[in-house]
């Protein structure tokens, strides 16, 4: 945090915030010392004067210098705002942390109490408390401070609830760490950053609230004065001496902004929005820049040459991928996470995030939307929770087939029925949250089939599903392909799934295709050591996928990492010097049934030996 | 509707409602509303008794004439035992009576019935306007600056909304009058005087919260735009209009509605300042006058009405949001 | 706005006497280019909601000013201070009684005739202390009895003790038909008009609309309401700056402006009518146990503050010296009772006065006597406006510098009466404005609240003796006696008047005359 604060302070916003804090502190400390006497000097021969050489902003009803009073009022205005914020934050933290420390029942009661208090508008709170404490600065400070307690407590409760549920707090509890220690060691440090941000916002809010209360005559009373009371006095003369009324108003606004700036800076330092975290995009859009040429071959549905996808300058994630998919063919794209397989698929579907830049020497794909259907990994989040499922299917027909609402709805229901949704008529009217995971994935597939797909891109379509449901979804995909005659590009890190569905497999590693092979060769005839390793690590029904794959020693290179030679070389058991210095070219296999990029393909080595 | 009745109803219906999560949620939420109402009523009763010393002494001064104090105490019913007072207070509430105002002897319920509509007449249009401005602006800003595009526009948006939301509402109100009613007299200066006279009070109530809400909406919209289902919409090649209006907006609305509900409750209270500037005969200006005048029955009544309004609105918002987005709300609760 | 931005109702709340005293030198038209609305509607600002409008229940200045449009009076006082016939065509008076001859054809709002019996019933109603009508003692002497002679159409009212201004004081008496006396509370937001207008719409806190009655011929000197505007709207505008803006924009026709906004209106060449009021006056709580019960303390407090500065601040630099303790100009008794009787600003003399009375400064520089510090509970009404709030701040500052502990309190008009009656104060900024000296007597002598109106608990033997003698003389004959009685009051520093102020009524598109009680209804004309 300290390190980040230092870095944030060097940003323009951070610098401005630092200057603002220093400025406010200086004015609050030295203003009353230097100008206090001038601000209190009564001169009944010079009352209500307009700005002039003697008085920058004119004088008030007692002939006192308004400019001096605005400066001097800084201290009290800030004191009151900070005081109220301190009361609010302290009370809020205590009340917010309490549920995590006291017993379950009491904790629930406290949470419920805060939930009820939060529902009341804060100004109502302030007026209520002002009635009890009476009109005046201290009463108002207490009132505004207490009004801040419920929202602060709610914030802290939410934060501590998530922290208290975390593993290390559970561990600490098992180890018998005391409640007090638990709070100071584990809970408070973890909620500190949002609390600091809240405190800055609360101070700015209190400042405005005090101005309002004093304006209404409920805040600071004479002879004390804050900006609100100066406003109250001078707004009556706004048409006679507008500067005198604007000055305290401007002080409130500018100080509020300064405090907001401080909050922003602290938030950035806290890493909630670390400075410069948003990547800069070279090009404005995420679409692939390539000549979408006409297919060279009537049989070819997809042809991609030298596709690169990257984020920012030199952070390539896909480094020159070329492949083709024939009509009706099912192709698997496999590889570990981060191999670039999903980005390749997204580039094909023209769905790259805008921050990505992509380019290709050649790119032939069916029309996105109508001719390309996409099935995503997580059916829970890929359907719009706010819309009826039927609607989400029907709109495809409405937009692309110009169908009427009624026709589109009917075909959506038919499609849902076709992908095996029972009582589709009723289900179509439901929202996604009423569907099970498998049904949602069926609906997603159905959505893709609303057009006339010639290509189905399925990105890990079964990963998020139960094993039993996986089977059904795969069957459905196969059936859809049979019915529509579409080609399939199936992205998966699960070779077993790919083997079931696909004709041909592309293996990606570190942004390049290292091997292309017929599915029959996947487990027995792979040439690339990486494909071999993958095939070797294929999980059985009971093993954890990620854990098994991790059995390949080492880690794949990060996107953008400089690679010399074969990218797999550092992890390859049979790598030699050449592998580490020279990138292997992709070469067709002798039988023409695939290709491989390896200086020492497995089968070839066997031949050499044998 | 009493608390116990709500609890009993929820128990009886629990099994039947297991398959209707939304209805169960509404029932639970109704229970919470009942508890909140109880808290509100008790708090407003307690208010008078929480005043240090005693309310009559607070109004008349600590060394006031004992005879006068006794008479005033009797008039307010403060000379009875506390439980008796409380029962009396509840009894009056159920018959819609809130006592008489000390300053003008009118029944508090009559004063409120007089003033509340005037407050709503500016608060409701202001609320609609806030929503109509903040959501498109916030969403537009999000679309325009998403994924770190157009950093300058983003900074500009942040600066403008930041400055505007830091301006106290009454100051803005005075400024609007100075510009649009005095310097360039196209709108009425103040007071309820034909349709045009609503323009400035409503704008004064609208602009500051709209700026604040637009900031929230932008952040929320950025989150929605990054959701997987927005990628699905892109995959379907829907036109931008449909993607933003049909797919992003409803998801944005549920979040905005929650914030908006909170906003509306504070808006009603916020009319206090604006009503003062525009000589608007609403409940907000009434409550302030009642506080300075130590008119406790009136303060009590106004606090009850404002509080009740706030509770009902949050309740309605919760129920509507639950209907629109049952998954997150009900699970969240 | 909470802090009422005007001192327009310096007369308000306590004894706000609507008396026919036209300000001098305000002839001519107050109109200008933009006329009142075409249908003859005139909109007049009032500075706060008048509360109840029932003539039998209110003493609030705003309500009295509005009721002048709805209720007729027996006599009226002209710009020259002379009595004019109104509902009474003629009258005779003795030291304790008066007989009025009632005009024929005067009607109440429902069309019924206003008879001598009605008027007698009203005298009897107000004069009976049991009915607790606040007008008692101000319009009708307490305990007065009236009888009617229906054939001669005359009313004779007799007071139990001498009542020198019994005829003049009826100028304030709003006439009602007998049946409307039965339920005075019913007139809170309705009218039972006997005057030129009747209430057609009441929206408390916002506006009150009055429409012209037909057949009104009993105005002062027999004037009718033929030339008066068809409709008069009283609009509640609490903020003076807002009122000024509304005047400039033409949304208002008449508003009272005291403060800096007047400069703007003057710059816009808007016409105005002025009425002088007693604006700055200190009263001291002389009830037992209060420090100000001792004359040296009062003297010290008066000399410790610069009253000239206070006057200047309170009137935004336009002060005038008062001559009376509350009678509006032209007062029935014109002699100056103030000049020379109020000691000048002199802190040394103030300190000497305290030292002489056994006070000494303690270690903290605060005056103390017998272990008790000099604590001054100071009170002023928010209705007096921001200028008085500033002047009060100055007074508190000067007293504090002098060595007193000052606890300053601003009181809402709604609480003013109860706070003053409650007695928890030492010094109050509180002027009283009335027409005749006898109307002030209940405020400066007699029992304290709740039995009487002697808020400050003043017991000045010279004043009481002088009043007794003066009351015995009819009308202006008692003036020298009144003058010496009131001088005694000021000399002993029971009341310290120090500032007159000019209330300005700015008008746009209308002509009118004003007096101490507000706009004179019969002089209001729409159009420039």
Q: What is the pLDDT of residues B228-245, one digit of tens each?
A: 888 888 888 888 888 888
Total length of chain B: 333
pLDDT (tens digit per residue) in A310-348: 876 667 788 888 888 888 889 999 888 778 888 888 888
Question: Is the predicted pLDDT of residue C25 greater than 80, yes or no?
Answer: no
* A62, A216, A221 member nearest C390 (Cβ): A62
The fraction of chain C above a pLDDT of 70, given in percent, is: 91
Partner-chain contact B189 C242, CB within 8 Å: yes
What tokens were used for C289?
């146990």
Partner-chain contact A386 B162, CB within 8 Å: no
Q: Taking CB atoms and an 8 Å cutoff, what residues of chain A touch C306?
A: 44
User: C351 versus B115: which is more confidently predicted?
Assistant: C351
Which pLDDT score is estimated for A4? 62
Q: Taking CB atoms and an 8 Å cutoff, what residues of chain C touch B58?
A: none
User: A94 versus C527: which is more confidently predicted?
Assistant: A94
> Residue range C271-277: average pLDDT?
86
- Chain mean position to CA B178: 28
CA distance C11 to chain A (A): 22
Cβ(A382)–Cβ(A442) under 8 Å? no
The per-residue DSSP string of C150-166 comes to TTTTEEEEE-SS--TTT
Q: Taking CB atoms and an 8 Å cutoff, what residues of chain C touch A131?
A: none
Cβ(B69)–Cβ(B121) under 8 Å? no
φ, ψ of residue C515 to 5 degrees: the values are: -140, -170
Whether C186 has its CB under 8 Å from any CB of chain B: the answer is no
pLDDT level of residue B269 (50, 70, 90 thresholds): low
Which pLDDT score is estimated for A348? 85
The fraction of chain A above a pLDDT of 70, given in percent, is: 85
| Interatomic CA distance for residues C1 and A67, integer angstroms | 25
3-state secondary structure (DSSP) of residue A307: strand
pLDDT level of residue A3 (50, 70, 90 thresholds): low
Question: Is the predicted pLDDT of residue C13 greater than 50, yes or no?
Answer: no
* C409, C421, C424 member nearest B63 (Cβ): C424
Whether C239 has its CB under 8 Å from any CB of chain B: the answer is yes
Question: Is the predicted pLDDT of residue A292 greater than 60, yes or no?
Answer: no
Question: Is the predicted pLDDT of residue C20 greater than 50, yes or no?
Answer: no
Partner-chain contact B326 A369, CB within 8 Å: no
Which pLDDT score is estimated for A461? 83
Which pLDDT score is estimated for A550? 47
Partner-chain contact C241 A42, CB within 8 Å: no
pLDDT (tens digit per residue) in A338-376: 788 888 888 888 888 777 777 777 777 787 667 888 888
Whether A216 has its CB under 8 Å from any CB of chain C: the answer is yes
User: C431 versus A286: which is more confidently predicted?
Assistant: C431
Say which residues have a Cβ less than 8 Å from residue A197's Cβ, sequence separation at least 6: A263, A266, A267, A270, A272
> Residue range C126-135: average pLDDT?
85
Whether A109 has its CB under 8 Å from any CB of chain B: the answer is no
CA distance A245 to chain C (A): 13
The fraction of chain A above a pLDDT of 90, given in percent, is: 9
> Residue range A563-568: average pLDDT?
81
What radius of gyration do chain A's Cα atoms show? Answer: 34
> Residue range B245-251: average pLDDT?
86
pLDDT level of residue A521 (50, 70, 90 thresholds): confident
What tokens were used for B205?
């109530």
A314: left (phi over 0), alpha (psi -120 to 50) or beta: left
pLDDT (tens digit per residue) in B200-211: 999 999 998 888
* ipTM > 0.90 for the complex: no
pLDDT level of residue C354 (50, 70, 90 thresholds): very high
Question: Is the predicted pLDDT of residue C101 greater than 90, yes or no?
Answer: yes
pLDDT level of residue C348 (50, 70, 90 thresholds): very high
| Interatomic CA distance for residues B33 and B27, integer angstroms | 10
Q: What is the DSSP letter of A401?
A: S
Partner-chain contact B236 A396, CB within 8 Å: yes
| Interatomic CA distance for residues C219 and A170, integer angstroms | 91
pLDDT (tens digit per residue) in B69-87: 777 777 777 777 888 888 8
Partner-chain contact A132 B182, CB within 8 Å: no
> Residue range A205-215: average pLDDT?
84
Whether A217 has its CB under 8 Å from any CB of chain B: the answer is yes
In C321-460, where does DSSP find H-type helix?
347-356, 386-402, 413-422, 441-444
pLDDT level of residue A277 (50, 70, 90 thresholds): very low
> Residue range C447-456: average pLDDT?
79
* B58, B233, B238 member nearest A134 (Cβ): B58
Cβ(A302)–Cβ(A330) under 8 Å? no
| Interatomic CA distance for residues A356 and A323, integer angstroms | 21
Whether A135 has its CB under 8 Å from any CB of chain B: the answer is yes
**Chain B nearest-CA residue for C410:** B292
Partner-chain contact B171 A395, CB within 8 Å: no
Q: Taking CB atoms and an 8 Å cutoff, what residues of chain A touch C396?
A: 222-223
> Residue range A511-519: average pLDDT?
87
Which pLDDT score is estimated for A359? 79
CB atoms within 10 A of CB B197: 20
Cβ(C314)–Cβ(C279) under 8 Å? yes
Is the preceding omega at residue A223 within 30 degrees of 0, hence cis? yes
Q: Taking CB atoms and an 8 Å cutoff, what residues of chain C touch B102?
A: 414
H helix or E strand, kind and range, residue C444: helix C441-444
What tokens were used for A273?
């929005």
Interface mutation vs chain B, best among A127, A204, A392, most B CBs within 10 Å = A127
Q: How far is CA C103 from CA C97, C99, C196, C522, in A?
A: 20, 13, 15, 18
3-state secondary structure (DSSP) of residue A527: coil
Partner-chain contact C2 A237, CB within 8 Å: no
> Residue range A142-160: average pLDDT?
84
Whether C217 has its CB under 8 Å from any CB of chain B: the answer is no
pLDDT level of residue C18 (50, 70, 90 thresholds): very low
Q: Taking CB atoms and an 8 Å cutoff, what residues of chain C touch B60?
A: 418-419, 422, 424
| Interatomic CA distance for residues A203 and A148, integer angstroms | 10
- Chain mean position to CA C367: 37
What tokens were used for B331?
């699970």
Cβ burial of A330 (10 Å; 0-12, 13-18, 19+) is: buried
Q: Look over chain C and give the mean of its residue pLDDT values, rounded to a whole number.
A: 84
Question: Residues B143, B149, B153, B159: is their CA dihedral positive or negative?
Answer: positive
CA distance C239 to chain A (A): 8
Partner-chain contact C238 B279, CB within 8 Å: yes
| Interatomic CA distance for residues A203 and B204, integer angstroms | 23
H helix or E strand, kind and range, residue B232: helix B228-235
pLDDT (tens digit per residue) in A471-511: 888 888 888 888 888 899 998 878 888 888 888 999 988 88
Q: Taking CB atoms and an 8 Å cutoff, what residues of chain A touch B43?
A: 128
Q: Taking CB atoms and an 8 Å cutoff, what residues of chain C touch A240?
A: 260-261, 263-264
pLDDT level of residue C156 (50, 70, 90 thresholds): very high
Interface mutation vs chain C, best among B190, B287, B290, B302, most C CBs within 10 Å = B190
Name the residue among C316, A262, A67, A302 with its Cα closest to residue B166: A262
Whether A162 has its CB under 8 Å from any CB of chain B: the answer is no
Whether A282 has its CB under 8 Å from any CB of chain C: the answer is no
pLDDT level of residue A275 (50, 70, 90 thresholds): very low
| Interatomic CA distance for residues C393 and B84, integer angstroms | 44
Cβ(B51)–Cβ(B58) under 8 Å? yes
pLDDT (tens digit per residue) in A216-231: 778 888 788 999 899 8
3-state secondary structure (DSSP) of residue C63: helix
How many Cα atoms are found within 13 Å in the side-chain-facing hemisphere of C166?
31
CA distance B238 to chain C (A): 53
Which pLDDT score is estimated for B63? 58
3-state secondary structure (DSSP) of residue C39: coil
Whether A357 has its CB under 8 Å from any CB of chain B: the answer is no
- Chain mean position to CA C53: 16
> Residue range C459-488: average pLDDT?
90
The fraction of chain B above a pLDDT of 70, given in percent, is: 84
Whether C244 has its CB under 8 Å from any CB of chain A: the answer is yes
Whether A47 has its CB under 8 Å from any CB of chain C: the answer is yes
Interface mutation vs chain B, best among A81, A123, A262, most B CBs within 10 Å = A123
Name the residue among B196, B175, B178, B174 with its Cα closest to residue B187: B196
pLDDT (tens digit per residue) in A169-180: 666 666 666 767
Partner-chain contact A395 B292, CB within 8 Å: no
Pairing of strands A316-326, A362-364: unpaired
In the block, tokens 């319009």 appear at C139
Question: Is the predicted pLDDT of residue C397 greater than 50, yes or no?
Answer: yes
Partner-chain contact A238 B174, CB within 8 Å: yes
Partner-chain contact C414 B295, CB within 8 Å: yes
Cβ(B279)–Cβ(C238) under 8 Å? yes
The per-residue DSSP string of A215-265 comes to HTTSS--TT---HHHHHHHHHTTTTT-HHHHHHHHHHHHHHHHHHHHHHHH
Whether A131 has its CB under 8 Å from any CB of chain C: the answer is no
Q: Look over chain A and give the mean of its residue pLDDT values, rounded to a whole number.
A: 79
Say which residues have a Cβ less than 8 Å from residue A471's Cβ, sequence separation at least 6: none
Residue A118's beta-bridge partner residues?
A: none
In the block, tokens 């002062």 appear at C220
Interface mutation vs chain C, best among A218, A229, A239, A241, most C CBs within 10 Å = A239
| Interatomic CA distance for residues C21 and C7, integer angstroms | 19
| Interatomic CA distance for residues B103 and C413, integer angstroms | 9
Question: Is the predicted pLDDT of residue A548 greater than 60, yes or no?
Answer: no
Helices (H) and strands (E) in chain C, counts: 13, 23
**Chain A nearest-CA residue for C238:** A236
Partner-chain contact A385 B325, CB within 8 Å: yes
Pairing of strands C83-85, C518-519: unpaired
């Amino acid at each position: 945090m300290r390190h980040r604060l230092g870095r944030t302070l060097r940003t323009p916003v951070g610098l401005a915030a630092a200057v603002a804090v220093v400025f406010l502190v200086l004015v609050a400390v030295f203003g009353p010392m230097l100008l206090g006497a001038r601000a209190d000097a009564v001169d009944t021969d010079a009352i209500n004067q307009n700005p002039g050489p003697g008085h920058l902003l004119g004088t008030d009803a007692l002939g006192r210098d308004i400019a001096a009073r605005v400066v001097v009022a800084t201290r009290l205005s800030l004191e009151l705002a900070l005081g109220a914020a301190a009361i609010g934050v302290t009370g809020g933290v205590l009340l917010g942390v309490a549920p995590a420390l006291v017993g379950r029942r009491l904790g629930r009661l406290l949470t419920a109490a805060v939930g009820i208090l939060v529902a009341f508008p804060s100004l109502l709170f302030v007026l209520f408390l002002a009635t009890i404490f009476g009109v005046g600065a201290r009463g108002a400070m207490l009132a505004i401070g207490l009004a801040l307690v419920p929202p602060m407590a709610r914030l802290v409760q939410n934060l501590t609830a998530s922290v208290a549920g975390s593993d290390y707090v559970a561990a600490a509890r098992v180890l018998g760490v005391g409640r007090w220690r638990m709070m100071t060691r584990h809970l408070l440090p973890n909620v500190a950053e949002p609390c600091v941000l809240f405190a800055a916002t609360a101070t700015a809010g209190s400042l405005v609230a005090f101005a309002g209360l004093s304006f209404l005559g409920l805040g600071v009373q004479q002879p004390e004065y804050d900006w609100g009371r100066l406003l109250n006095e001078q707004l009556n003369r706004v048409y006679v001496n507008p500067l005198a009324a604007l000055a305290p108003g401007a002080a409130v606004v500018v100080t509020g902004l300064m405090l907001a700036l401080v909050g922003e800076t602290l938030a950035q330092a806290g890493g909630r929005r670390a400075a410069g975290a948003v990547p800069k995009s070279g090009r404005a859009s995420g679409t692939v820049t390539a000549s979408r040429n006409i297919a060279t071959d009537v049989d070819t549905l997809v042809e991609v040459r030298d596709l690169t996808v990257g984020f920012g300058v030199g952070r390539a994630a896909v480094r020159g991928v070329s492949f083709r998919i024939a009509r009706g063919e099912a192709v698997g794209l496999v590889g570990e996470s981060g191999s670039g397989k999903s980005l390749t698929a997204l580039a094909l579907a023209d769905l790259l995030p805008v921050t990505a830049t992509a380019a290709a020497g050649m790119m032939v794909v069916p029309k996105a939307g109508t001719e390309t259907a996409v099935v995503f990994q997580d059916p829970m989040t890929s359907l719009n929770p706010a819309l009826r499922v039927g609607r989400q299917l029907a709109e495809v027909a409405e937009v692309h087939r110009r169908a009427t609402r009624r026709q589109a709805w009917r075909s959506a229901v038919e499609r849902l029925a076709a992908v095996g949704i029972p009582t589709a008529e009723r289900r179509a009217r439901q929202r996604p949250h009423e569907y099970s995971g498998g049904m949602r994935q069926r609906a997603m597939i159905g959505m893709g089939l609303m057009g006339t797909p010639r290509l189905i891109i399925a990105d890990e379509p079964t990963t998020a599903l139960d094993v039993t449901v996986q089977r059904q979804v795969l069957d459905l995909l196969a059936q859809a392909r049979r019915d529509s005659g579409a080609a399939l590009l199936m992205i998966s890190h699960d070779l077993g799934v790919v083997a079931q569905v696909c004709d041909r497999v592309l293996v990606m590693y570190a942004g390049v295709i290292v091997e292309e092979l017929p599915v029959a060769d996947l487990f027995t005839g792979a040439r690339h050591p990486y494909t071999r390793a993958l095939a070797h690590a294929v999980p059985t029904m009971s093993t954890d996928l990620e854990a098994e794959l991790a059995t390949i020693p080492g880690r794949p290179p990060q996107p953008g990492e400089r690679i010399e030679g074969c990218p797999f070389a550092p992890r390859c058991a049979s790598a030699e010097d050449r592998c580490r210095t020279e990138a292997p070219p992709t070469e067709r296999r002798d039988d023409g049934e695939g290709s491989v990029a390896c200086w020492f393909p497995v089968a070839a080595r066997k031949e050499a030996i044998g | 509707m009493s608390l116990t009745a709500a609890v009993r109803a929820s128990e009886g219906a629990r099994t039947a409602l297991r398959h209707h999560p939304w209805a169960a949620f509404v029932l639970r939420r109704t229970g919470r509303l009942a508890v909140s109402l109880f808290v509100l009523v008790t708090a407003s009763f307690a208010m008078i008794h929480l005043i240090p010393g005693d309310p009559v002494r607070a109004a008349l001064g600590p060394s006031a004439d004992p005879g006068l104090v006794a008479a005033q105490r009797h008039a307010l019913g403060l000379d009875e035992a506390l439980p008796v007072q409380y029962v009396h207070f509840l009894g009056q509430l159920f018959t819609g009576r809130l006592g008489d105002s000390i300053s003008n002897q009118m029944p508090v319920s009559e004063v409120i019935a007089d003033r509340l509509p005037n407050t709503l007449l500016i608060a409701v249009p202001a609320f609609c306007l806030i929503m109509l401005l903040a959501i498109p602006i916030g969403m537009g800003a999000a679309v325009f600056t998403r994924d770190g595009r157009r950093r300058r526009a983003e900074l500009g948006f942040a600066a403008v909304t930041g400055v505007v939301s830091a301006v106290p509402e009454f100051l803005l109100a005075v400024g609007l009058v100075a510009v649009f009613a005095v310097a360039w007299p196209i709108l009425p200066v103040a007071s309820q005087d034909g349709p045009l006279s609503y323009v400035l009070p409503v704008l004064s109530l609208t602009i500051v919260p709209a700026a604040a809400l637009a900031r929230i909406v932008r952040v929320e919209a950025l989150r929605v735009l990054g959701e997987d289902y927005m990628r699905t919409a892109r995959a379907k090649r829907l036109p931008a209009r449909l993607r933003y209006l049909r797919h992003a907006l409803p998801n944005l609305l549920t979040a905005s509605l929650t914030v908006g509900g909170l906003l509306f409750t504070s808006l009603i209270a916020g009319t206090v300042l604006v009503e003062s500037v525009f000589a608007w005969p609403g409940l907000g200006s009434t409550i302030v006058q009642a506080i300075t005048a130590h008119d406790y029955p009136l303060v009590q009544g106004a606090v009850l009405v404002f509080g009740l309004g706030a509770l009902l609105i949050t309740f309605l918002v919760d129920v509507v949001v639950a209907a629109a987005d049952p998954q997150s709300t009900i699970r969240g609760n | 706005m909470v802090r009422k931005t005007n001192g327009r109702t310096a007369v308000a709340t306590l004894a706000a006497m609507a008396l026919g005293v036209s300000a001098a030198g305000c002839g001519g038209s107050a109109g200008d280019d933009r006329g009142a609305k075409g249908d003859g509607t005139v909109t007049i600002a009032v500075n706060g909601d008048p509360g109840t409008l029932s003539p039998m229940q209110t003493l609030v200045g705003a309500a009295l000013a509005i009721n002048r449009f709805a209720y007729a009076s027996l006599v009226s006082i002209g710009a020259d201070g002379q009595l004019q016939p109104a509902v009474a065509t003629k009258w005779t008076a003795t030291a304790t009684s008066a007989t009025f001859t009632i005009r024929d054809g005067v009607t109440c709002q429902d069309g019924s005739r206003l008879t001598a019996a009605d008027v007698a019933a009203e005298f009897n109603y107000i004069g009976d202390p049991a009915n607790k009508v606040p007008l008692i003692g101000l319009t009708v002497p307490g305990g007065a009895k009236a009888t009617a002679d229906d054939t001669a159409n005359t009313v004779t009212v007799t007071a139990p003790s001498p009542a020198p201004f019994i005829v003049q004081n009826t100028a304030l008496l709003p006439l009602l038909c007998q049946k409307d006396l039965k339920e005075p509370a019913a007139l809170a937001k309705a009218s039972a008009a006997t005057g030129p207008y009747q209430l057609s719409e009441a929206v408390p806190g916002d506006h009150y609309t009055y429409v012209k009655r037909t057949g009104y011929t009993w105005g002062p000197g027999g004037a009718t309401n033929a030339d008066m505007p068809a409709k008069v709207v009283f609009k509640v505008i609490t903020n003076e700056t807002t009122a000024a803006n509304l005047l400039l924009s033409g949304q208002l026709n008449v508003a009272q402006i005291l403060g800096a906004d007047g400069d703007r209106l003057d710059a816009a060449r808007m016409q105005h009518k002025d009425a002088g009021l007693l604006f700055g006056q200190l009263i001291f709580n002389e009830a037992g146990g209060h420090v100000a019960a001792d004359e040296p303390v009062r003297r010290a407090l008066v000399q410790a503050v610069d009253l000239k500065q206070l006057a200047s601040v309170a009137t935004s630099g336009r002060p005038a010296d008062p001559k009376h303790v509350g009678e509006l100009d032209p007062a029935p008794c014109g002699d100056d009772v103030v000049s020379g009787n109020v000691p000048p600003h002199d802190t040394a003399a103030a300190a000497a006065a305290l030292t002489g009375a056994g006070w000494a400064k303690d270690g903290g520089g605060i005056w103390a006597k017998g272990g008790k510090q000099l604590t001054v509970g100071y009170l002023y009404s928010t209705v007096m406006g921001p200028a008085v709030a500033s002047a009060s701040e100055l007074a508190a500052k000067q007293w504090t510098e002098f060595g007193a502990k000052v606890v300053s309190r601003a009181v809402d008009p709604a609480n003013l009466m109860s706070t003053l009656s409650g007695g928890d104060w030492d010094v109050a900024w509180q002027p009283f404005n009335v027409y005749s000296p006898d109307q002030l007597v209940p405020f400066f002598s007699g029992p304290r609240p709740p039995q009487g109106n002697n808020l400050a608990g003043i017991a000045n033997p010279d004043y009481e003796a002088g009043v007794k003698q003066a009351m015995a003389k009819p009308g202006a004959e008692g003036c020298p006696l009144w003058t010496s009685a009131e001088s005694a009051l000021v000399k002993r520093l029971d009341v310290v008047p120090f500032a007159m102020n000019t209330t300005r009524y700015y008008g746009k598109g209308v002509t009118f005359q004003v007096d101490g009680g507000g706009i004179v209804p019969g002089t209001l004309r729409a159009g420039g």
